[in-house]
Amino acid sequence: MNMKNTLLNTRKTALVTGLAIATASLALSAQAMTVISFGGSSGDAMQKAYYAPFVEKTGKTLTPGDYNGEFARIRAMVETGNVSWDVVEVESPELVRGCFEGLFQPIDWAKLGIEDQLIPEAVTECGVGSFVWSTVLAYDADRLEGTPLSWADFWDLETFPGKRGLRRGAKYTLEFALMADGVSSSDVYDVLATEEGVARAFAKLDEIKEHIQWWEAGAQPPQWLVAGDVVMSSSYNGRIAAAQEEGRNLAITWNESLYDLDYWTIIEGSTQVEDAYEFIRFASQADTQAVYSSNIPYGPVNPAAIGALSEAQAKRMPTHADNLIGAIAVNTDFWVDFGEELEQRFNSWATR
């Protein structure tokens, strides 16, 4: 091969390599931002309030998805460097744990520019509050004779016979068990922080274990209630409200409910950080939050959104004064400190 051919081949190789790099760069820049939520009725409300309007306004590509809160899945993504999610909705204990482990990017609040628009609880190191929710006692008013007023009633198999639904996990389930055993809502976490308190909660669960149908996705409790698979269930309040709007006579007992915030996070290793900031900023505005809360009764974290809601809509929110009577805030610090240990203990107990 002469020098001229060698030079031509070298130039061809360089050209092909350059085109490949340019193509890869274009593909990366054109890659859709992925937004992962807990799906279901909340995901439908997000589609109406956030996803579709964001795409229409910005012209950017957005791919929504959902999961069931699998923290280990996020950890595996970051540890392997195979990050396929950008913005992810998480609950508060997972937010704190993930921030500590470096799984979520710290939020640059100056860059985001909305700190003064949100309630204080929505402003954290690695997450931006998205909405306020409650886990409540729900039941089918057509099938159940009488009205359960507390978790003690949930445990009362004689007065309210039938299957019960509970979330398959320690979080929320252990709190309800202690309240059913007579622990006041204000003392739940103090009692649960002791070995005696944990044993007491599991002993209470033993009483109805064979009558429990465990749910893992938020859409399951209303589905089971409507189908008659269970007579009562713990459930996210918004999922029950969605069923009510479909004409189902499901009811909520707000007493002894648990409330907390969910948060938007940006996964460490995301290649769509700029778009992620733009999306979170968009989803935190009063007008978009009002659309979300009008489609599912979770409380907005932007107080200005309340003015756009009717009184009837406001009364269905976890943040309404009447619904906070007897309710308790999820103790994030407790679940950060004891969550993994108690979840392992719960899984062991549930499989026995």
What does the pLDDT look like over 54-63, one tens digit per residue?
999 999 999 9
Q: Domain range holding 252?
A: 133-258+324-350
Q: Is the pLDDT of residue 3 over 90?
A: no
Same domain, 217 and 331: yes
Same domain, 63 and 137: no
pLDDT at 4 over 80: no
- Identify the H or E element spanning 16: helix 3-30
Q: Is residue 7 part of a domain?
A: no
Residues 210 and 330 in one domain: yes
User: At residue 172, what are phi and psi to the nearest 5 degrees?
Assistant: 80, -45
Q: By the 8 A CB rule, do 181 and 201 touch?
A: yes
Which of the residue ranges 83-92, 166-175, 236-245 would you say has the lowest mean pLDDT?
236-245
Q: CB neighbours of 285 closer than 8 A, spacing ≥ 6?
A: 114, 117, 302
Domain contains 12: no
Phi, psi of 278, rounded to the nearest 5 degrees: -65, -40
Going from the C-alpha of 350 to that of each of 102, 146, 206, 346, the distances in angstroms are 31, 30, 10, 6
Whether residue 159 is contained in a domain is answered as yes
- 268 versus 8: which is more confidently predicted? 268
252 plus 314 within the same structural domain: no
Residues 63 and 151 in one domain: no
Q: Do 56 and 92 belong together in one domain?
A: yes
CA atoms of 119 and 124, how far apart (whole Å): 11
Measure the CA–CA gap between 44 and 38, rounded to whole angstroms. 10
75 and 193 co-located in one domain: no
Count of residues for the chain?
352
Report the pLDDT averaged over residues 24-45.
77
pLDDT digits (tens, 9 = 90+) for 283-295: 999 999 999 999 9
Q: Is the pLDDT of residue 28 over 90?
A: no
Q: Are residues 233 and 156 in the same domain?
A: yes
Statement: the pTM of the whole predicted model exceeds 0.85:
no
Q: What is the pLDDT of residues 289-346, one digit of tens each?
A: 999 999 999 999 999 998 899 998 888 999 888 999 999 999 999 999 999 999 999 9
Q: How far apart are CA 148 and CA 196, in angstroms?
A: 28
E strands present in the chain: 33-37, 62-66, 87-91, 128-140, 164-167, 212-215, 232-236, 250-266, 328-329
Whether residue 191 lies inside any domain: the answer is: yes
Q: Are residues 72 and 37 both part of a single domain?
A: yes
Looking at the fold, whether 246 and 346 belong to one and the same domain comes out as: yes
Average pLDDT over residues 167-189: 96
pLDDT at 155 over 70: yes
Report the distance separating Cα 331 and Cα 174, nearest Å.
Answer: 13
CA 98-102-106 angle, 5° bins = 90
Q: Flag whether 26 is in a domain.
A: no
Mean of the per-residue pLDDT values for the chain? 91
Residue 168: strand, helix, or coil: coil
Lowest mean pLDDT among 6-15, 151-160, 296-305: 6-15
The answer as to whether 286 is a domain residue is: yes
Q: Is the pLDDT of residue 17 over 70?
A: no
Work out the pLDDT band at 245, boundaries 50, 70, 90: confident
Q: Examine the pLDDT at 206 and tell me if it is beyond 50.
A: yes
Same domain assignment for residues 244 and 162 = yes
Q: Is the pLDDT of residue 192 over 70?
A: yes
Structural domain includes residue 10: no
Residue 2 domain flag: no
State whether 128 and 151 are in the same domain.
Answer: no
pLDDT given at position 30: 53
Name residue 153's amino acid.
D
- Looking up residue 245, the CATH number of its domain turns out to be 3.40.190.10
- pLDDT (tens digit, 9 = 90+) per residue, 103-113? 999 999 999 99
Collapsing DSSP states into helix, strand and coil, what is residue 19? helix
DSSP 105: P
Asked if residue 317 lies in contact with residue 293, where contact means CB atoms within 8 angstroms, the answer is yes
Query: What is the rounded distance in angstroms from the CA atom of residue 28 to the CA atom of residue 22?
Result: 10
Residue 15: is its pLDDT beyond 90? Answer: no
Question: How many domains are there within the chain?
Answer: 2
- List residues bridging with 215 in a β-sheet: 167
